[in-house]
Amino acid sequence: MAYNYVVTAHKPTAANASLFGNFTGPDDLNLIVAKNNRLDIQLVTAEGLVPLLDVGIYGRIASMQLIRPKNERCDLLFILTCRYRVCILQYKPETKSIITRAYGDMKNRVSRPSETGLIGIVDPDCKVVCLKLYDGWLKLIPLELDTEKEMIAEDVRLEELQVLDVKFLHGFAEPTIALIYENGQNRYMKTYEIALQNADLRQHSWNIGKVEEEAFMIIPVPHPSCGAVVVGAGSISYYKNKDSLHITPASLKNRITCFGRVDSNGCRYLLGDCNGRLFMLILVQENSQSGNVIKDLCLEYLGDTSIASSITYLDNAFAYIGSSCGDSQLIKLNTSPNSETDSYIDIIENFTNLGPIIDMVSVDLDRQGQSQLVTCSGVGKNASLRVLRNGVGIHELANIDLDHICGIWRLRTASLNISEYDDVLVLSFAGHSRFLKFDGQEVEETDIAGFDDYKETDFASNVAYDQMVQITSESVRLARCDGKGLLQEWKPPNGKTISKSTASNSQIMVASGCELYYLEIGEGELKQVSNIALEHDIACIDISLKDDNGQAQICAVGLWVDMSARLLLLPSLQIMLTESLGGDIIPRSIMLNKFDDEIYLLVAMGDGTLVYYLVNTTTCSLANRKSVNLGVVHSNLYTFKSGSISNVFACSDRPTVIYINNHKLVFSNVNLKKVNFMSPFHSKSFPNSLALVNDSGFIIGTIDEIQKLHIRTKPLAETARRIAHQEESQSFAVLTCRTEVPAGEGFVPAHQSASLLVPSRVMCPEQDEKMAVATQVDPYLEKNIDSVVIIDQHTLDAQSALQLQDCEWGMSLISCKFENDQETYYCVGTAFVNLEDKEPSKGNIRILKFSDGKIQHVCSEEVPGAVYCMVAFNGKLLVSVNSTVSVYEWTANRTLTEETSFHNNVLALYLKTKGDFILIGDLMRSISLCAYRPMDNEIELICKNNDPNWMTAVEIIDDDSYLGGENSYNLFTCQKNSSSSEEELKHLPTVGVYHLGEFVNVFRHGSLVMQNTVDIPDSVQGSILFGTVSGAVGVVVTLAPPMFQFVSAIANKLSTVIKSVGKIEHKFWRSFFNDRKTEPCQNFVDGDLVESFLDLSPEDMQTVANGLMIQTDDEVRPATVEDILKTVEELSRIH
C-alpha cells in the first residue's frame, strides 16, 4: 500500500486577481494578490511593495472584493472559493493575523454548475452579496457582519441561462445588477433591482437589450457619472438609461482580459488584452444641468506589459499587472512616451511566476548530486525556461588567475575615519604572502608596512584601535592602518612555531602543537593573558561566537589523536566541555555560531562530513548531534553576514551555505564546483561581496538572497510545450510555438522569439501535396508555427532550430538511444491539426541528431494521428498515437518499424514505463497497466482502473503503485490487486485520494535537495516532483506505515489547533472532489499542514503533542514535542 506525503516546495505564483485598499490599517495602502489558494498581502510604500502576510486559504480563490461597510475603519475582504465557500475576512493588527467575520457554504445539491465561471460580488453600499454559481440561478445574501457570522443565501430563479458577467451598478437607491447573457447567436444586457425584503429580482427600467457582438465584460462607472461600460470584441460601449456611446478603435485587435479603475470618479480605466497590450480608456465627462454626462469615449494604447489577468492601479501613476501567463509587474505610467520605444510604461519591478508549468525535466547539470528543475513556463511572449535550484547562487563580478592559494583575508588599510571599505586582499602561498590592492576596478600588488610577505600567512584581519594583525608560523604581528609599520610582535616561547590561529576584534587565539595561547589586543600592544597545554595537538580553533559587547567568552578547539572537540572558557582557558567526535577522522575546522536564538557547534571532519550540535551554555552541554555530508574532502568554515544575520559558508568540493529557517538548520548548495577558502569583501567597487578561492585563482562575487529555491530565467518569447535533456550533446531540446500574423500576401512573426534568433535554422522536408492542401491556413487569421529549438545546457542560449510544417504541431519530445546504435537522438512526435477535424488523422515521428551546433533530420515515420507521448523503451520507442499505443523498432537502415500495438483507449495521452510494464493515462478512462511481451510480440492489458477520471498526468511510484492527477485538481493512487480472483486481478483499484487544489501538468522522478547531504529517514522513500498551472512545484514521497500513522495523527491534531481562515475545514479542503463524487482524503497526508507545526508557539506545540503516541524500535510511548519536531524537521528536508 502506498502511503503518500504531499508537500509544496514552491508556492503558486500565478496571479489570478488583485485588489488595492486599506486592509491592514486605516492609513495603510495594501496590495492584495490572489495566487490560487494563497493571499499575498503587501504594503505599498514610497520605496516599493513590502511583503506583509502570506495567507493560505483552504480553497482555490474564484473571486474576491474589498468592501467597507458602515462604521468600519478598514476594508474587509470578501472571498468566494471554487467549491462554493464564502467568507468575509478582517485583519487584526494586535495579533497580525486574519479573523473571519462571516462565512457560509453556498453549495446546492442538484443545480447545474455554471459553465461560464463563478462570480461573487458585493454591492457598493455593502447591503447584499450576489453569487452566480449555477446556471439559471442567483444567490442573494443580506450582508450582516459579526464575529464568525454564518451567511445564509436565498436562491433566486434567473431566466437567463448563459450569463457571462454580472456587476452591481452605482447610483441607485436599491442594489441593482447588470448582466450580459447569450441567447442563440446574440448577446444581451439586462438590469435587475434586488428587493432585499423578500430577496427577489425586479426587472429594472433600463432595458438595454441587444449589445455588441461578443460582449463579455461590464465595467460599472461610479458616481458622479454612473452607468456601465460594455467591452466586446473590437468595440467598447457606454450605457446609461437609454443613452449610449459606441467606439470601435483600430488599436483594439485582441480580446480584453481585465480592467483596473484609475480614478475614483471613473474617468479613466486601464485595460489589458490577451497579447499583453495595455490601454487607457478615457470617459470624457461634461458638466450639465442634469449632472455629469459622458460625452465621448477614447482609447489610448500605452505600451506592452506581461499578459494581464488582473490590473490594479495603486497610486501616483503606479500600477500592478498581475499575470498568470508570465511574471507579474509593478509599472509606472508616464505622461509622455519613451523616445525609443514609444511606450508610456516603465517596468519598475518583475515578480517571478513559474506558471503555467507546461513541462519540466529534472537534471544534474553539474554532476554533483544536485538536481535542477528546468521548466517550460509561461505563454506566448511571456514564455521562458526557468531553472530551479535548491541552493544559493554566486554572481561573479571579477576573477583573477593565481595558482596554489593557501588562504585569503580582507583588510582595510585606511583609518576607519577615512574609509569603511576594504581595499586589500591578503593571499597566502607556500612560503610567502602577497597583498593585492583594489583601487576602483584596478588591482595591483602592494606592500603593507609591518606585514611579512616572506612568510606564509595563517590569519590576517583588521582589529581594534585602527590596527591590523598578521599571524604567520613564526609570530603575531600588530601594525597600524596608517602605514606607520610594525607596532609589536609576539612569538611563542622557546622558538615554537604557530600551527593554528584565529582572531576577533580584540582577542587572538594561537595554537602551537598542543599548547594554546590567549592574547588580548590593546592600543599598540599584544598581551598574553593565559595558556594551556592540552593532551593532543590542536587541529582547529575558533572564537567566532561573540557576546553583546563583541567579546568571545568561549573558545572551541578540535584535537588530533582522540578526535574530540573542546569548549574552553575565556580568558581563563578552563575546559568547560569535552565531546568525543567518534571514528578515526580528524576534525579540520570548527565553529561556534548563533542562528536565531540558538547556539550551534559545527565541526567539519576530514572526510567531508559536518557534525553539528545544539549548545546549551547554561548547563555547558551539547545536544541533538546530527551529521550531513558536504562533500568528499574536508570543509573550511567561515562566517559572513546576509543583512544583519550571520550565516556560515562551508568551503569544500561541494560548497554550502548554512543558515536557519523555521528553527532548523538548512544546507543550501552554492552554484560553484569547488571553493577552498572564503573571505567577505566590502570594497567600493565590489560592495557586500565575497572573495572565493578555487584551484586556479579566486573570484569576487555577490551572493543571492539566502533562500531555499533560486530561479534563473531564460526568455523564449514563444510558448514552450515540451522539453528534453540530452547529456551526450549537453543540450536541451524544446518544442516551441510562435505566432505569425497576416502581413500583405504572407505572414510575419508577431515578435522576435527564440526559434528566429538562432545561428542555425532549418526547415522540415515538405509534406506531400495532398496534406498541404488539407491543412491550408486562413490568410486572414493568425497562425502558429512550431519548432524544435536546441539550447545549450550551460548558457541556455538557443543554438539551432528545426521549423515544422504549417499546421504541424509538436506534441511530444524525448532524447533516446536505440538498440544496436551508439548515437543518441532527439525524437519528436507531431500532429497535423485541421480545426475542422474532430481529431488529427496524421502525424509524424521525426528522428533528429544534434551535433556541431546543427540539427540533422535523420528520418520521419508517418503515423495515422497525433503522437501524444513517446518513451524510450528497452532500446525501442514506445509511442501513443490517438487511441493506440505502439512499439517501434529502430532498423539498421535507420528507419522505424512498428512491431506491435494496443488499442483499448479513448485517447492515450500519457505513458510511463518500468521494465516491461507500461502505464497508460487516458483522456477520460483513468489509468491502465499493460505489459510488453517481446517473445509473443504483443502488448497485454494487465489491469485497469474503472473510475472515469480525466487524466492530466501519471507516474509510477513503485512496482505495484501508481500516481495520477486528474482535471478536477485531485491526486489519486492505484495499486495492483493481489487477489487470486482472475476478475479482480484485471481491476486496478483506487487506494488513495487527495484534493491537491492544483492542476498538475507533469510528474517527474527527482529531488531538489542534494543527495547524501540531508538526514532523510529510511521510512521516507522515493521522490516525485510535480509542476502545476499556477506555478507551484510540489513533492510526493512514500512513507512507511508506522511513519504515516504518526504523521497523519500530527496532521489531525494540527487541523484542530490551527484556526482555518474563513472557517473552511481542512478535511473538506483535502477531500477528493469532482462533478461526480466527493470522498474523504485517504492514504495521503498534507505536508503543508504538517510542516506548519514548526511555526507554532511552544504552547500550541505542546497541545498538538498531547495524546499522540509514537512507535520506536521496542515500544509504543507518548510522543513529546521533541519527537514531533524531529519528525517534521526530517520531512521538511525532502524539499
Walk across the sheet containing 938-944 and list its strands.
Answer: 908-914, 917-922, 927-933, 938-944
Q: What would the pLDDT profile of 244-302 be if each residue is shown by its tens digit?
A: 899 999 888 889 999 999 999 889 999 999 999 999 999 998 887 667 788 999 999 99
The SS3 assignment for 682 reads coil
Q: What pLDDT, on the 0 to 100 scale, is given for residue 708? A: 62
> Alpha-carbon distance 564 to 552, whole Å?
21
Q: What is the pLDDT of residue 550?
A: 87
Q: What is the pLDDT of residues 1062-1105, one digit of tens each?
A: 999 999 999 999 988 999 999 999 999 999 998 888 899 999 99
Name the CA radius of gyration of the chain, rounded: 34
Residues of the chain with pLDDT > 70, as a percent, come to 96
- In which band, very low, low, confident or very high, does the pLDDT at 747 lie, cut at 50, 70 and 90? confident
Say if residues 302 and 282 touch (Cβ distance below 8 Å). no
**Distance between CA atoms of residues 168 and 320, nearest Å:** 24
Grid coordinates of 175: 442594489
pTM for this model (two decimals): 0.84
pLDDT band at 330 (very low <50, low <70, confident <90, very high): very high
549 contact partners, CB below 8 Å, separation of at least 6: none
Q: Checking phi first, is residue 1131 left (phi over 0); if not, alpha (psi -120 to 50) or beta?
A: alpha
> Which of the pair, 109 or 103, is modelled with greater confidence?
103
pLDDT score, position 613: 92
Which range, of 226-230, 678-682, 770-774, averages the lowest pLDDT?
770-774
pLDDT above 70: residue 54: yes
605 three-state secondary structure: strand
State the pLDDT confidence band at 706, using cuts at 50, 70 and 90: low
Give per-residue pLDDT as tens, 1099-1119: 999 999 999 998 887 788 888
3-state secondary structure 171-193: CCCCCEEEEEEEECCEEEEEEEE
Question: Which of 226-230, 662-666, 907-911, 924-928 is the least confident region?
Answer: 662-666
Instruction: Give the model's pLDDT for residue 1001.
Output: 96
pLDDT per residue as tens digits for the range 768-827: 444 444 445 555 578 899 999 999 998 999 999 999 998 999 999 999 999 988 999 999
The predicted structure's pLDDT at residue 596: 79
The pLDDT of 502-524, averaged and rounded, is 95
> What is the secondary structure of 248-317 as a DSSP string?
--TT--S-EEEEEE-STTSSEEEEEETTSEEEEEEEEEEEETTEEEEEEEEEEEEEE-SPPSEEEEEETT
Computed over every residue of the chain, the mean pLDDT equals 90
**Virtual torsion, Cα 508, 509, 511, 512, nearest 10 deg:** 40
DSSP state letter for 1090? H
Give me the count of residues in the chain.
1135
Residue 6 to residues 811, 974, 1013, 1133, 1134, Cα–Cα distance (Å): 29, 16, 21, 13, 11
Query: Residue 997: is it exposed, middle or buried by C-beta count within 10 angstroms (0-12/13-18/19+)?
Result: buried
Packing angle between helix 1041-1057 and helix 1098-1105, nearest 10 degrees? 130
Between 80-84, 547-551, 722-726, the lowest mean confidence (pLDDT) is in: 547-551
Question: Cα–Cα distance between 778 and 766 in angstroms, integer?
Answer: 19
The SS3 assignment for 326 reads: coil
**Residue 1012 has what pLDDT?**
53
Q: What is the mean pLDDT of residues 741-758?
A: 86
Please state which of the ranges 130-139, 629-638, 1004-1013 shows the lowest mean pLDDT.
1004-1013
Rounded distance between C-alpha atoms, residue 52 and residue 695, angstroms? 44
Q: What is the pLDDT of residues 844-855, one digit of tens each?
A: 999 999 998 899
SS3 725: strand
Burial of 1044 (0-12, 13-18, 19+ CB in 10 A): buried
Give the pLDDT score at 392.
79
Please give the helix or strand (H or E) that residue 923 lies within, else none.
Answer: none
Statement: residue 767 has pLDDT above 60:
no
